[in-house]
């Protein structure tokens, strides 16, 4: 009897852990599946979902940043595409072919393009408009074809350093460059706000080095607090 009781107890504990684990996996998958499905629907027929789009140059309320491009904000800051990884910015999908949809500066600052950057730019903002005692950086990427042919405008060639740009300056065009010619990422702009340390930008690949873009755009762009809303100005 004692052995049977222990087996029942072990089974009950195992079932409880499986149920908790299943619930946590479900909670992790639900928002990501929902957003991924909407991106797939949008890219299949952008005109059918034109009401999901944001407009380049639009300012939402009194938020400091302009929207940098046209399209549907399909993935948010904090989305998780695999366990242990969280998305460091937002992805705005044009629904067009690569090289057609403009990308413009969201806020004034000093632009740098490292010598080996085919599809990326970063802009230093000396005074964060929401916290003026600190410096931040805005990062724009995927501005190239799958083969790495850059869609960044000629004004900003590789090795550009600290060129001042106004908000709304044309930077380039949405592309689908992933670094691997055989694995395009879909035409979109990835945009993130990167923290500064001692005058240098931190590694954008780590979410801990980036900021929630929601208050900068006046849109709910944090996946933790926005599990299912379409992010647009009127919200």
Predicted confidence at residue 19, as pLDDT, reads 37
Predicted confidence at residue 235, as pLDDT, reads 54
In this structure, how many other beta carbons lie within 10 angstroms of the beta carbon of residue 86?
16
What is the rounded distance in angstroms from the CA atom of residue 101 to the CA atom of residue 91? 14
Alpha helix ranges (H) inside the chain: 2-44, 214-217
Classified as helix, coil or strand, 31 is helix
Contact indicator for 142, 177 with CB cutoff of 8 Å: yes
Integer Rg of the chain from CA: 21
Q: Is 81 left (phi over 0), alpha (psi -120 to 50) or beta?
A: alpha
Give yes or no for residue 73 having a pLDDT over 60. Answer: yes
Q: 114 lies in a domain?
A: yes
Predicted confidence at residue 222, as pLDDT, reads 97
Contact indicator for 228, 34 with CB cutoff of 8 Å: yes
Q: 235 lies in a domain?
A: no
Predicted confidence at residue 68, as pLDDT, reads 98
Task: pLDDT band for 22, please (50, 70, 90 cuts).
Answer: very low
Predicted confidence at residue 181, as pLDDT, reads 80
Give yes or no for residue 169 having a pLDDT over 80. Answer: yes
Give yes or no for residue 168 having a pLDDT over 50. Answer: yes
Q: 223 lies in a domain?
A: no
What is the rounded distance in angstroms from the CA atom of residue 60 to the CA atom of residue 67? 8
Q: 95 lies in a domain?
A: yes
Q: 54 lies in a domain?
A: yes
CATH number at residue 99: 2.70.70.10
**Exposed e or buried b for every residue in 42-78, given b needs 16+ CB within 10 A?**
bbeebeebeebbbebeeebeebbbbbbbbbbbbbbbb
Q: 222 lies in a domain?
A: no
Token couple for 224: 């933790």
β-pair partners for 154: none
In this structure, how many other beta carbons lie within 10 angstroms of the beta carbon of residue 150?
22
Total domain count, the chain? 1
Q: 80 lies in a domain?
A: yes
Give 91 or 29, the one with higher predicted confidence.
Answer: 91
Give yes or no for residue 18 having a pLDDT over 90. Answer: no
pLDDT tens, residue by residue, 35-48: 889 999 999 999 99
Task: pLDDT band for 185, please (50, 70, 90 cuts).
Answer: confident
Q: Measured in whole angstroms, how far is the alpha carbon of residue 122 from the centre of its chain? A: 14
Token couple for 196: 């500064």
β-pair partners for 84: none
Mean pLDDT of the residues in the chain: 88
DSSP class of residue 150 equals B
Give 169 or 6, the one with higher predicted confidence.
Answer: 169
Instruction: Tell me which residue range forms the domain holding 37.
Output: 2-217
Q: 97 lies in a domain?
A: yes
Mean pLDDT of the region 110-136? 98
Which of 58-72, 178-192, 208-222 is predicted least confidently? 178-192
Token pair 């990501």 in the structure block, residue: 32
Task: pLDDT band for 24, please (50, 70, 90 cuts).
Answer: very low
Mean pLDDT of the region 15-31? 39
């Amino acid at each position: 009897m004692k052995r049977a009781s222990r087996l029942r107890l072990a089974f009950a504990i195992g079932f409880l852990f499986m149920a908790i684990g299943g619930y946590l996996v479900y909670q992790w998958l639900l928002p990501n599946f929902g957003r991924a499905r909407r991106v797939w629907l949008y890219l299949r027929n952008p005109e059918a979902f034109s009401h999901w789009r944001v407009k380049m140059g639009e300012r939402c309320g009194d938020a400091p940043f302009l929207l940098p491009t046209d399209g549907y904000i399909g993935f948010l800051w904090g989305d998780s595409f695999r366990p242990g990884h969280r998305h460091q910015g937002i992805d705005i999908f044009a629904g067009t072919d690569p090289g057609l949809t403009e990308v413009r500066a969201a806020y004034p600052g000093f632009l740098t393009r490292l010598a080996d950057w085919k599809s990326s730019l970063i802009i230093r903002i000396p005074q964060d408009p929401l916290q003026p005692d600190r410096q931040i950086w805005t990062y724009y990427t995927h501005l190239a074809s799958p083969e790495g042919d850059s869609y960044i405008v000629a004004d900003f060639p590789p090795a550009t350093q600290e060129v001042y740009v106004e908000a709304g300056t044309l930077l380039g065009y949405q592309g689908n460059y992933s670094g691997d010619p055989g694995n395009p990422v879909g035409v979109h702009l990835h945009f993130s706000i990167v923290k500064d340390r001692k005058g240098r930008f931190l590694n954008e690949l780590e979410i801990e080095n980036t900021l929630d873009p929601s208050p900068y755009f006046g849109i709910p762009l944090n996946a933790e607090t926005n599990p299912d809303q379409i992010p647009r100005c009127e919200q």
